[in-house]
Structure 1
């Protein structure tokens, strides 16, 4: 049996649309989390090498315009000597964001939004987070080669 939709006047339709928009504003944006996988077995990946080494990575298909990312990092202290370092984020093998880890043995945070538009045509895009030690002791520490740089992502959201 055919059903008939009751006719609605313009003001009723406008009121219904305003209610739907208000509901959408209350719920916020829909965001997809990008999982990043550590390349070691620890909860916070550490690197005591003096060359960049990948600590976290993922492979994704860029469907959105940007990637919002937050990182946490910390230097080390070996026998009273503080260790500093550097970190970088690579998209498809190219460095798109970088910074330093201060040699003061405190937790530091960094946030940014990376533009994914140049990578939209790729089926797979590798995301890497790397770190290295640039100063500090040369012996002792977590792995015996001096102080270590701790690095972990706080969030990675596709916007």
Structure 2
């Protein structure tokens, strides 16, 4: 026997839509994680150079208006001499969008910012680099023999 499909009343459809909107509000914004890749041949992305060196990078196609980026930074200690430095997040090899110092304290620091990607939305490729350099501390010894090391690494990177 054929079944008949009953049409929903306006109030039933409205209740379904209200439920769907409530679910969307609870779930929040959809976010895409962005993976960063180390550019160093070393096991950990540390740098003992005094020039700004890229430790991690990624090339993306900007599909959203902003990138939420969280970083972890760490200095070094060699024979009770603490090593610090500076760091930068650079877009397309020329635009510095975040920067700061790595404290010479041999402890972790955290940095976070939402980066506006609106100027790059029309481009096919956007290169994002995490750079660091040693500015103070030990000049010999250390992790790789050139002195104290500093590091920068992403904690999270989300397109929002």
The answer to whether TM tops 0.5 is: yes
Q: Distance in 1 between matches of 2:92 and 2:102?
A: 23
- Contact 1:62 1:119 survives alignment (8 Å): yes
Q: Distance in 1 between matches of 2:109 and 2:43?
A: 17
1:121 counterpart = 2:112: no
- Contact 1:44 1:151 survives alignment (8 Å): no
Q: TM-score, normalization: structure 1?
A: 0.92
Q: Residues 145 and 25 of structure 1: is their aligned pair in 2 closer, same or farther, counting only changes over 3 Å?
A: same
Q: Distance in 1 between matches of 2:12 and 2:43?
A: 55
**Counterpart for residue 68 of structure 1:** 68
**Counterpart for residue 101 of structure 2:** 100
Deviation per residue, 1:30-68 (Å, 9 max, x gap) = 211111100124554101111100000010000100001
Q: TM-score, normalization: structure 2?
A: 0.92
Q: Secondary structure at the match of 2:8?
A: coil
Q: Distance in 2 between matches of 1:43 and 1:7?
A: 63
The answer for unaligned runs of 5 or more in structure 1 is none
1:151 counterpart = 2:155: no
**Counterpart for residue 36 of structure 2:** 36
Q: Residues 85 and 11 of structure 1: is their aligned pair in 2 closer, same or farther, counting only changes over 3 Å?
A: same
Moved more, 47-56 or 32-41: 32-41
Q: Distance in 2 between matches of 1:4 and 1:101?
A: 70
- Contact 1:44 1:152 survives alignment (8 Å): no
Q: CA deviation at 1:145?
A: 1.5
Deviation per residue, 1:106-150 (Å, 9 max, x gap) = 111111110000000101110100000010011111111110002
